[in-house]
A and B are shown apart, each in its own frame.
Chain A
């Protein structure tokens, strides 16, 4: 719980939600007859509506990007380190919007929501959603909020992929694109990790083919395992060594058993357990699948340059040296395709030992680069 709200926090925020009754044709060919988006806003929209920034969240994120929901909150929103007054995404200059993706379990319509046609939760009947679909829903939200063009669309990891899709699908609706720790498509290794996570969930005896809601249970062990695998890939070997080393939890002696012995085991089990409390297993399946499917170049014979041919946004691309999940080389593929189209792009490779998760942390050089870029975006729109 925050004893007091820090000065550079957006403070107490209230999530909002918007119901869309206009059907949404999805990339998979199915139609979502109606859906709800949960979102949060920080800062003020200026008179000419030119200072709006859209934040796109990563795999297990949501619409709560910054600030606190109540004084009882243990932690602020997922990007509080970088979003707030005076921070890189400066809420005293920008009007910031963050929406929860459909397929999620955090307020937007997803597999745990009631299927209006069946009167019970969708489960695996929920249609497959893609990054492209998410961008469509966010564009509709922009319409509702009266935002014709974003000053910038910003995101890390899966959020960065949404930014790329935004630039492709709605070139005229964003002036700047900030793509952080992302990739133009997943590698076989990335997909393999996602598949291990999904198999952990789907082979849990409590999974009941995704209908576990009706059995008043959930695949806890599978979801916890999925999160543990994911978590290993988000950290670097260095970060793990620094954080845990081979430290034993109790004293110096091995117990020669399978209970938790090493600190890192304890940490992973805790991460797994706590994730089960805050995330729905089916949502994890859907969102990892959206990650796997993401490949805007696929429609252009794998040619990313061709996929970006219609893009007009100016770009900042950022990667982190110890990120092996979406390594700097993957970001450079995006950069290369951008300059093959003569687009304006800056690329920064941030020296960081934290692995993929570095994009959530206020690392000095990252703050300088990201903040410097956003400062320029703000000056451009007179904010």
Chain B
């Protein structure tokens, strides 16, 4: 065990050593610090929260304080090998545009999000008639930063529509495990979905 959260550990496993990485919504820089120390990766985090920005700087993780809803226009085309958006997609104002921007500035995009199709969410909404509150979506409807929740099927439909190719998918259950159940019925048993994507070649 390296102490990294299971979802972050999977992301780390996807990064080729020596890559240039942009981590959007990087938090305190844990993932970037890990990638720097174990994968010789370089790059930047992007974070809006004051406390997290300060934590990154203290940890020696390069961080840019910026609102993702402003877009990524300051970054050049294909400037990174990977652009990571970990558990943040659902909190952005224009998730579809951000996804395309990620694939403009990076060769590959790694996106993870809480799956709104998970059985617990379906139970709470469909049977109890309440907005779901789960480990992966711990907020109440009135204070949640999550404004664009989606299911695994929704996300894949969007990728299809925007000519985004899914290179790899992993789904973790509510124990953060990759079990046979969520491989059989990911949209029902997956609590967190992880994707590695690229642009489909034109033409």
* A348 with B76: CB separation less than 8 A: no
Q: What residues of chain B lie closer than 8 Å to A237, measured between beta carbons?
A: none
Nearest-CB residue, chain A, relative to B73: A336
> Quick one: which of A335, A365, A372 contacts B64, CB cutoff 8 A?
A335
Q: What residues of chain A lie closer than 8 Å to B200, measured between beta carbons?
A: none
Q: What residues of chain A lie closer than 8 Å to B149, measured between beta carbons?
A: none
Nearest-CB residue, chain B, relative to A319: B65
The B-contacting residues of A in range 325-383, CB under 8 angstroms, are 332, 335-336, 339-340, 342, 344-349, 351, 365, 368-369, 372-373, 375-376
Known: A332-B74, A346-B63, A347-B65. A365 touches B20 (CB 8 A): no
Q: What residues of chain B lie closer than 8 Å to A342, measured between beta carbons?
A: 20, 42
A340 CA / B78 CA spacing, docked (Å): 11
Known: A342-B42, A346-B63. A335 touches B20 (CB 8 A): no
* A376 with B60: CB separation less than 8 A: yes
Q: What residues of chain B lie closer than 8 Å to A351, measured between beta carbons?
A: 50
Most chain B CB inside 10 Å of its own CB: which residue of A316, A346, A351: A346
A375 CA / B60 CA spacing, docked (Å): 10
Known: A344-B62, A347-B64, A347-B65. A339 touches B56 (CB 8 A): no
Interface size class of A (residues with CB under 8 A): 20 to 34
A373 CA / B61 CA spacing, docked (Å): 10
> Quick one: which of B53, B57, B75, B76 contacts A376, CB cutoff 8 A?
B57
Q: What residues of chain A lie closer than 8 Å to B74, measured between beta carbons?
A: 332, 335-336, 339
* A369 with B54: CB separation less than 8 A: yes
Q: What residues of chain A lie closer than 8 Å to B60, measured between beta carbons?
A: 376
Q: What residues of chain B lie closer than 8 Å to A373, measured between beta carbons?
A: 57-58
B136 to chain A, nearest CB (A): 30
Nearest-CB residue, chain A, relative to B46: A347
* A348 with B79: CB separation less than 8 A: no
* A368 with B62: CB separation less than 8 A: no
A372 CA / B62 CA spacing, docked (Å): 12
A369 CA / B74 CA spacing, docked (Å): 22
* A348 with B65: CB separation less than 8 A: yes
* B57 with A345: CB separation less than 8 A: no
A376 CA / B74 CA spacing, docked (Å): 27
Q: What residues of chain A lie closer than 8 Å to B63, measured between beta carbons?
A: 346-348
Q: B189 in the interface, Cβ–Cβ < 8 Å?
A: no
* A339 with B20: CB separation less than 8 A: no
> Quick one: which of A314, A340, A369 contacts B53, CB cutoff 8 A?
A369
Q: What residues of chain A lie closer than 8 Å to B20, measured between beta carbons?
A: 342
> Quick one: which of A336, A340, A349, A372 contacts B65, CB cutoff 8 A?
A349
- What are 12 A-to-B residue pairs whose CB atoms are below 8 Å? A339-B74, A342-B42, A344-B42, A345-B44, A346-B64, A347-B63, A347-B64, A348-B54, A349-B65, A365-B50, A369-B53, A372-B55
Which B positions have Cβ atoms within 8 angstroms of A?
Answer: 20, 42, 44, 50, 53-58, 60-66, 74-76, 79
